[in-house]
Amino acid sequence: MAKVCEYSGKRPQVGHKIVRRGKAKREGGIGQNVTGITKRRWKPNLQTIRIVDANGTVRKVRVCARYIRAGKFVKALRRNRSV
């Protein structure tokens, strides 16, 4: 399953983790040195929730936490399992 929000389209972003050594010049040192660069990923905060569609059907979707907090969905009611 892809790590993509079904509504906003948020997906993992890539970047670099930069490791530095030394004290910065503005803090009184002689400057920083880059000693290592590795690739890394920032993953979206995806949650699986049950929502009610426009047609009234209940389905599971993977959406980012920002959309859940914003209240962009109507959450489905929990089923009664006391049988």
Q: Is the pLDDT of residue 83 over 70?
A: no
Alpha helices per DSSP H over 1-83: 65-69
Are 52 and 66 within 8 A, CB to CB? Answer: no
What digits encode the pLDDT tens for the residues 23-44? 999 999 999 999 999 999 999 9
Q: Is 65 helix (H, G, I), strand (E, B) or coil?
A: helix
Structure tokens of 78? 């929990």
pTM of this prediction? 0.69
